[in-house]
Amino acid sequence: MKKRLSLAALAVVSALSLAPASAQEKVLRIGMTASDIPTTTGMPNNGFEGMRFLGFPIFEGLILFDLTKTDQLATLRPGLAEKWEQAPDDKKTWIFHLRKGVKFHDGTDFNADAVIWNLERIFNKDSAQFEAGAVGIMRSRVPILASYKKIDDSTVSMTTSIVASYFPWMVPYILNASPASWEKGGKDWAKVAMLPPAGTGPFRITGVVPRQSVTLARNDAYWDPAKKAKVDQIVLLPIPEPNTRLAALRSGRVDWIEVPPPDGIPSLKQAGFVISTGSYPHVWPWFYNMAAKNSPLADVRVRQALNYCIDRSAIVTLLNGTAEPSVGWLKPNDPAFGKPENRYTFDPAKGKKLLAEAGFTDKKPLSFKVMISTSGSGQMLPLPMNEALQENLKQACGVDVQVEAVEWQVLLNAARAVPDDPSLKGAMALNVSSPSSDVGMMFRYFAYANSSPTGSNWEQWKDDKFEDVMKTLSEATDEATIQKYFAMAHERLVDNPPWLFIVHDLNPRAFSKKVKGFVSPQSWFVDLTLVDLQ
């Protein structure tokens, strides 16, 4: 299956390289890691790579990320809302003042009715426009939205289930598509996907070839003239196999590839290609299935032991230095890392001691299955990386790990299942890369209220100290208090680990020399309006 997909992708890029183009047109061709094109209805699947390329460039939220800086974490900026604030009489309610005069790509008006229509699309199963395929994706990213209403044509409110100072960090993931697109598609989301649908962003979708490519064109009527894109078109191609992406770049069939194979980076540099890397909030872990029946990972000593048993530096070497060791959800130099009792190093003796205390010895070794992907957003090189971990755990601590490889979207679906769901095939861990960008993301992944299947806490991890700290953090308004309790919360993630922390990658990409203006932000996402071709 993987080979067939790679050949299909190559066929598309070959055709593109031979197709005639206007001498004046700038067409940027990008090789993604996904094995299929992300969905195009306004809430893309395929993880954050889907959001990176078929989410934010086309369909926008009331709040956007500022992706123009490399020296600090991405911040928030006004999007389809010019400003927002907590209601003076209710800290659970947020008021959004919408930008006036914005049009969807199809020429229809963006207004409060469109916002409510899009919220109903996801959060009201009885709405005519309910999009079942998008519900799990968006609800898991905005798990605390309780209600919403139109105040007037340019003002809406959203109310959360708890007081949450970090709610604005969740709002960018609520994307807005044109209600008129749904009508034009016969009120059938499958047909809407092929129209294609309209958003408000700096790019619009102009062509969809299922499982092969998506073409974007610059939106010359974009509401922010300062953010008008520099290229005329972008062609997105799913090329899941790293060496196939490398070949496509070398041959000139694409201009940009996500995650070049690490062993190919030196030769790319020597040949004049541009390699981009940079620190950003991302961690590549195993999620522990601690709530499954008879799970060996229910014992915190086992979860800690595995964190002492792995040689993170060997994985960094495997990736040719395009990653750094992970000993927590955040990086050790992050002010919110805190001072946990456990500072994980490669210490097999300590790992084996903890395993023995939990009842696992050479005569009764720990054994479990991990489900991984063959490629995908932020997954780097999952097959060789997991094979290395499998051997490492066996040699260092006598742990037997079986690996079940599936496609990326199948793995994402598994991460929304309950711990004993048949779709997991008995897996006691999932290898799903994760953002680690802000308090809202921490709440999404680790608060017990967000336990699977309704939220992203697949492990159904519960730590009472963490819960107490998060409550204080949620109600805080001053930055000093937020940072203090953010660090306290992170300490619990290290000392009572719901994950096996492995590496933080450095977001590698490779470009032809004609790609100019790219900024590698401290974010999963990128600002495609900055990119030019010369």
Chain segment 176-223, per-residue pLDDT in tens: 999 999 999 999 999 999 988 999 999 999 999 998 999 999 999 999
3-state secondary structure of 457: strand
Does 406 fall in a domain?
A: yes
Instruction: Quote the domain boundaries for residue 5.
Output: 1-44+201-279+508-534
User: Do residue 378 and residue 487 come from a single domain?
Assistant: yes
Does 194 fall in a domain?
A: no
CATH for 3: 3.40.190.10
Q: Running along the chain, 534 residues long, what does each successive block of 10 average in pLDDT?
A: 43 46 82 93 92 97 97 95 96 98 98 98 96 90 96 98 95 97 95 93 96 96 97 97 96 96 94 94 97 97 98 96 96 94 98 98 97 90 96 98 95 94 97 93 95 93 97 91 95 98 95 97 96 96
Give the number of domains in the chain.
Answer: 3
User: Do residue 329 and residue 450 come from a single domain?
Assistant: yes
Backbone angles phi, psi at 186, to 5 degrees: 70, 25
Q: In whole angstroms, what is the distance from residue 48 CA to residue 52 CA?
A: 6
User: Do residue 163 and residue 17 come from a single domain?
Assistant: no
Q: In whole angstroms, what is the distance from residue 408 CA to residue 467 CA?
A: 31
Name the helix (H) or strand (E) containing 155.
strand 155-160
Residue with tokens 């290898």: 431
Does 30 fall in a domain?
A: yes
Q: Which pLDDT score, from 0 to 100, does residue 478 have?
A: 87
Q: What percent of the chain has pLDDT over 90?
A: 88
User: Do residue 410 and residue 471 come from a single domain?
Assistant: yes
In 161-302, beta strands by DSSP E:
203-209, 213-218, 233-238, 256-258, 274-276, 282-288
Does 193 fall in a domain?
A: no
Buried b (16+ CB within 10 A) or exposed e, 327-355: bbbbbeebebbbebebebebbbebbbebb
User: Do residue 482 and residue 496 come from a single domain?
Assistant: yes
User: Do residue 24 and residue 103 come from a single domain?
Assistant: no
In 230-386, beta strands by DSSP E:
233-238, 256-258, 274-276, 282-288, 323-325, 367-373
Does 273 fall in a domain?
A: yes
Does 157 fall in a domain?
A: yes
Does 470 fall in a domain?
A: yes
User: Do residue 275 and residue 288 come from a single domain?
Assistant: no
User: Do residue 311 and residue 385 come from a single domain?
Assistant: yes
- For 20-42, the three-class secondary structure string (H helix, E strand, C coil) is CCCCCCCEEEEEECCCCCCCCCC
Name the helix (H) or strand (E) containing 53.
helix 47-54
276-329, pLDDT tens digit by residue? 999 899 999 999 999 999 999 999 999 999 999 999 999 999 999 999 999 999
User: Do residue 357 and residue 488 come from a single domain?
Assistant: yes
Write down which residue in 150, 182, 214 finishes a domain.
Answer: 182
